[in-house]
Amino acid sequence: MKGQKQINYIKSEYIGRSLVTFCGILIVVITLAIIGFICAKGIQSFTQSGISFGEILTSANWSPNSEQPAFGALIFIVGSTIVSIGAVLISAPIAIGLAIFMNLISPKFGNRVLKPVLELLVGIPSVVYGLLGVTILIPLLRDSFGGVGFSLVAGIVVLSIMILPTIASIASDAVRSVPFEYLEASYGLGSTKWQAISRVIVPAAKSGILTGIVLGLARAFGEALAVQMVIGNTVKFPTSLYSPTSTLTGILTMDMTNTLNGTSWNNALWTLAMILLLISFIFILVIRAIGQRGGR
Amino acid sequence: MKKQIMGVQKNMAKKGFKFTIAALLISGVLAGCGNAEDTANNETTDNAAKQELSGTITAAGSTALQPLAEEAATEFMGENPNVSITVQGGGSGTGINQVASGAVQIGNSDVPSKDKIEDEALAKELVDNKVAGIAFGVVVNKDITVDNLTVQQITDIFAGKITNWKEVGGKDEKINVINRPASSGTRATFEKTILNETKANDSIGTTQDSNGAVEQAVNSTPGAISYLAMSYMVGEKKEALKTVKIDGAEPTTENIAAGKYPFWSYEYMITKGEAKDAVKAYIDFVAGEDFAEKVEEMGYIPMTELNK
């Protein structure tokens, strides 16, 4: 009888518990394994191929297949940075506006229409954004501004649409979590609705909104396909918004499968992947710092 | 009271059921992963049955060779029902990587393995089997009036020295250069055969990742010039772009066999060590006479024509 009870206890308690513990450990192990693998591959550039880290970070000379190969990745780092920041500059104000509209101006319309629309936007695969960019945006840019159309600004516009839902939904949560009393107190002091929103609600939701923006920036930085399809992938610094350039992710998707393991070219690409990883770590640290400041 | 307990138990049973389903799903996924690796393990050891070839062949690599390899695989499997051939893409580099590591039996490549591999010991193990020729064309947007370019003119265009179509006899229009990525096999052939081993200038024009992207970009960009495999330019795609002659020669099988048209290369099926059994039979079939007609029909050049 007692044994029966124990088996029951094992069934009802330990199986489930060990399963979820296993899942928890598994995801940590996988994450560490990925980081370890990328770093191990990434440092091969320095240990095997004799490329200096300084050269990769500061040189703009990327000619991996010439007689005297050079692996300066500055163009890609700058390209990725400009295109992501540009996308956030467009996307963040719109997203904050949406968050305010959804929660404070018209919650009914926000919940019934805007929220599902944003969720839908998240679900659209990036290749579709890329295709839309190539078939609609590129010809439009070409006809209005001349040139080829494949350009920095095309990448910025495509990315800004992609990261809009990320920023908007996090900003919306932040705005919603501001206590209702703040609004009432502002009304009590004689403020109009807009004064209350702009002077009280938004500042109170600041840290949540900032987290959304940094997450959007991180997503923009890591996005590969859609940007690669519209940005032109020319290995040179952009001279204007309408000139093509390259990004870190773009050069990775184009060359990774066509270079051989163990060659210095392939190693250099792994180093670029490692740099991408490091940059995303920095974004995470920034988010944590914002969260802690907001929490105080 | 009793009813309540029973209700709880029922609830637990339901949860248990859900767990079972989840566990089944997970194990199913894991099992699926296992299967995928099994295909790599083909080593057919029955040498005795020469007539009855059998085994599993996996080929991966060049997307330029992929359509031909797939067509050949279908026909070859029709004749040898015990052989199963899977053809995957991934790019020439992937093909050589995979065959060097033993993950596939055949690595499809646009370039000989020696051109890509730095490790000499490994390079010696790999055998490049020529299976077909492939012609490439210099393609331009339909609005371009120029019909013929010399090798020197093409070199200057891709180096950024010639930037307007009027300099090569066309109308006054900016030249928009479209490249393939530096690691692409098509581009490697272009640099080797046309640019005379100099590199295309990456800081002019734009770069597109695939044949399809190049086709679309050339088709929609005024003044655009790029290069594409002729095997890709079949059907309606042939009408969408304009192929220019190089030094007066069109990319035909006759011109290539006669040495008049420079822009072509071999396609390789690379094996680790000499090919044997089913793998050898398949490679011989692709390069052989019986399949030659189909090879030409698909826009490639049969080995039988090149060996004349």
Among A139, A142, A260, select the one facing B116 at the smallest CB separation. Answer: A260
Sign of the C-alpha dihedral computed for residues A185, A190, A194 and A198 taken in this order: negative
Neighboring chain B residues of A246 at a CB cutoff of 8 Å: 207
A140 within 8 A of A185, measured Cβ to Cβ: no
Among B202, B207, B216, select the one facing A134 at the smallest CB separation. Answer: B216
Chain A residue nearest residue B62, CA to CA: A258
CB-based contacts of A292, cutoff 8 Å, min separation 6: none
Q: Does A136 touch chain B (CB under 8 A)?
A: no
pLDDT in tens, B51-90: 577 888 999 988 888 889 999 999 999 998 889 999 998 8
pLDDT in tens, A159-177: 999 999 999 999 999 999 9
Q: Does B151 touch chain A (CB under 8 A)?
A: no
B281 within 8 A of B269, measured Cβ to Cβ: no
Residue of B202, B210, B215 to mutate when probing chain A, most A C-beta within 10 A: B202
Query: What's the pLDDT band for B275 if we cut at 50, 70, 90?
Result: confident
Encoded amino acid at B192, one letter: K
Euclidean distance between CA atoms B106 and A6, whole angstroms: 57
Query: What's the pLDDT band for B10 if we cut at 50, 70, 90?
Result: very low
pLDDT in tens, A242-282: 889 999 999 999 888 888 887 888 899 999 999 999 998 99
Give, in order, the Cα–Cα distances in Å from A38 to each of A253, A270, B253. Answer: 15, 7, 46
Q: What per-residue confidence (pLDDT) applies to A108? A: 92
Burial label, B120 (beta-carbon count in 10 A; 0-12, 13-18, 19+): exposed
> In the A/B pair of chains, how many CB contacts fall below 8 A?
92
Neighboring chain A residues of B183 at a CB cutoff of 8 Å: 64-65, 254-255, 258-259, 265
Q: Does A7 touch chain B (CB under 8 A)?
A: no
Chain A residue nearest residue B174, CA to CA: A147
Crossing angle for the helix pair A206-222 and A264-295, to the nearest 10 degrees: 170
Query: What's the pLDDT band for B35 if we cut at 50, 70, 90?
Result: very low
In chain A the beta strands, taken as DSSP E runs, fall at 62-63, 70-71
Helix (H) or strand (E) segment spanning residue B83: strand B83-90
In chain B, count of helices (H) and strands (E)? 13, 11
CA distance B206 to chain A (A): 5
If you average pLDDT over residues B97-116, what whole number do you get? 87
ipTM of the shown complex = 0.77
Among A139, A257, A264, select the one facing B94 at the smallest CB separation. Answer: A257
Euclidean distance between CA atoms B78 and B178, whole angstroms: 41
B171 within 8 A of B243, measured Cβ to Cβ: no
Under DSSP, the state recorded for B136 is E
Strand partners, B128: B270
Euclidean distance between CA atoms A179 and B78, whole angstroms: 72
pLDDT in tens, A195-250: 999 999 999 999 899 999 999 999 999 998 899 999 989 888 998 888 899 999 99
